[in-house]
A and B are shown apart, each in its own frame.
Chain A
Amino acid sequence: MFAATRLNRRSYRNQSVARAVFCLMTVALVIPVLLIVGTLVVKGGPAISWEFLFTPPRDNMTAGGILPALVGTVWLVVVALLASVPLGIAAALYLSEYAPDNLLTRTINLAIINLAGVPSIVHALFGVGAFVLFFRFGASILAASLTLAIMTLPVVIVATRESLQAVPQAFREACLNMGATRWQTIRKVVLPNSVSGILTGVILEVSRTAGETAPIMFTGATAFVAFLPESVFDQTMAMSYHLYYTATQATDVPEELTFGVALVLIGMVLLMNAVSIGFRVYLRGLKKW
């Protein structure tokens, strides 16, 4: 009575094949990541030292450390976040909580998605035109950061909007029915329950901001400055640009130094991701539903 029919056997076989194929795909995806990280650790690992992290480069980049680049990247990321996070969250709040569902809103949503697809070199040229020349910021941290901010704005908006919309509608209804205004509803119920998602967006943005090279090349990054930036109007070195420079522009740079730069850059991004994941787990624990 319970004997397997031919159909049973065939669907069982199909299921095994599907499983094997998907598993293989996943492994194939992991291999390059392991290779990249492995190569960086093996070739760049020996270069890493306190001296490497905390001194400026010497002898035409062929020796010394990466301190100005490290500090410069932190400057760029922080200033970019200061610009894009408030703007992005405000835009997402409007789109998710206030905007009526009409043609204009849908057009704006489409525009944001398209903005995410604009190549970074185009953003770079926009940054030169707008911030360096038109606003006369010159090549500076401010111009570079604003360019990065514009580029990563869609990431923040989309991530924030999605985490806002993940808050159950019933919470809003209950709150509004009690006579709360939209803003009270957002502040007391919607935002506290979407912080972890918003944070994910911000962290994604940080990683991307730290790694991008093209947008800062013409707007504020420079191959070498001996001093650390003191204000947003200074030019600065940056990790990503430093990597590009030591790998392709400077001559006689020892291989391990270049790999060391790459390793530190990837380490920074991974560290920030790890911190954010930890923070998210913590916030999720606070979540009330």
Chain B
Amino acid sequence: MVGLSAEAAVANHGAGPAYDEPPVIEVRDLSIAYGGKRALGNVTLDIHRHEIFGIIGPANSGKTSFLRALNRMDAFNSAMEVEGSICINGKNVNDWRNEYALRRRIGVVFPLPAGLPLTVYENVAFSPRLRGIRKKAELDEVVERCLRRAALWDEVKGRLDSLGSLLSGGQQQRLTIARALSQEPELLLLDEFSIAVDPVTTMRIEDVLKELRSELTIVLVTNLVQQARRLADRTAFFLMGELVEIGDTEDLFAGEVKDERTTGYIEGRFG
């Protein structure tokens, strides 16, 4: 896994998804079950570098399970059974001898802000410390950079030593985004990040995500159909554990669908 250099990132800015390169994530025949009860079946899809890949669908469609399979969180849940293959940068996620190293390259943001019971500073410095960064100056630099990129720095720079849980809901969610960025991830998984966030903050975070696209790959699970429309390059529609349809977001919203259920969901007729 090769991280992108700063120049490459700049060169790529605004260039959009790299569809000509081999995909970053290749999912083949992925099925997920919990204790024999199927949550997701036969998903095959590719996700490309610098792409924001949207996943929409009602509750219980298997969206979150899909994300959990990507960073091997099934390892912590004995009831979760994953079949099929997931390759990230050509390497099967099950072939990582050290699955922790894999997770360090993947940032995750949850529906509700999951701040650690630490200060603002420590929340963001947590992952760099796991990577072995000890020097205060270096940590300071990472913390400031990540908070800036999450559009939070100006609001919290005066109180880095207060508890993360004392921030407002929207700030806490941006803190978790900053924390995810502090992992220097190649892949950012967002699970309905805007549920607990007001519309204005949501827009700010969405702007951040659009900028981040030039540096990494984003998988965006969302309940808000319009959010997928605003952000995603391509969108997949999951329904009751089935990948119904996958296509260019523009096309899907323009009504160019293969399956009537997609239009039905997008237009709010069910779900």
- Which A residues contact B (CB, under 8 angstroms)? 100-101, 170-171, 173-181, 184, 188-189, 192-193, 287-289
Query: Ordered nearest first, which 3 A-B pairs have the shortest CB separation?
Result: A179-B104, A288-B117, A179-B103
| Chain B residues packing against A (C-beta within 8 Å) | 71, 73, 76, 78, 100-108, 110, 112, 114-118, 126-127, 130, 163, 165, 176, 179-180, 183
A178 and B183 form a contact (CB under 8 A): yes
Pairwise interchain contact B78-A179, C-beta atoms closer than 8 A: no
- Name 7 interchain pairs, CB-CB below 8 A, sorted by A: A174-B110, A178-B108, A178-B126, A178-B127, A178-B179, A184-B130, A192-B117
Residues of A within 8 A of B110 (CB): 170, 173-174
Q: Which B residues lie within 8 Å of A184 (CB)?
A: 130
Checking B103, B107, B116, B176 against A189 with a beta-carbon cut-off of 8 angstroms, the contacting residue is B116
Q: Which residues of B contact A288 (CB under 8 A)?
A: 117-118, 163, 165
Contacts of B106 in A (CB 8 A): 177, 179
Measured in the bound complex, the distance between the Cα atoms of B127 and A176 in whole Å is 11
Q: Say yes or no: A289 contacts B117, CB within 8 Å.
A: yes
Select A179's contact among B101, B117, B118, B165, beta carbons within 8 Å: B101
Contact status A179-B127, CB under 8 Å: yes
A171: chain B residues within 8 A (beta carbon): 114, 116-117
- Known interface pairs A101-B78, A289-B165. Does A180 touch B130 (Cβ–Cβ under 8 Å)? yes
Whether B114 and A179, one on each chain, are in contact in the complex, defined by CB atoms closer than 8 angstroms, is: no
* Bound form: Cα–Cα A170–B106 in Å: 17
Instruction: State whether A173 and B114 are in contact (beta carbons under 8 Å apart), knowing that A178-B104, A179-B103, A184-B130 are contacts in the complex.
Output: yes
Closest residue of chain B to A175 (Cβ to Cβ) is B116
Nearest CB of chain B from residue A39's CB, rounded to whole Å:
46
Is there contact, CB below 8 Å, between A176 and B165? no
Interfacial chain B residues near A287, Cβ < 8 Å: 117
Query: Are B117 and A176 neighbours in the complex by a CB distance under 8 Å?
Result: no
Give the Cβ gap from B31 to chain A, nearest Cβ, in Å: 22
Contacts of B180 in A (CB 8 A): 178
Instruction: Find out whether the CB atom of B117 lies under 8 angstroms from the CB atom of A177.
Output: no
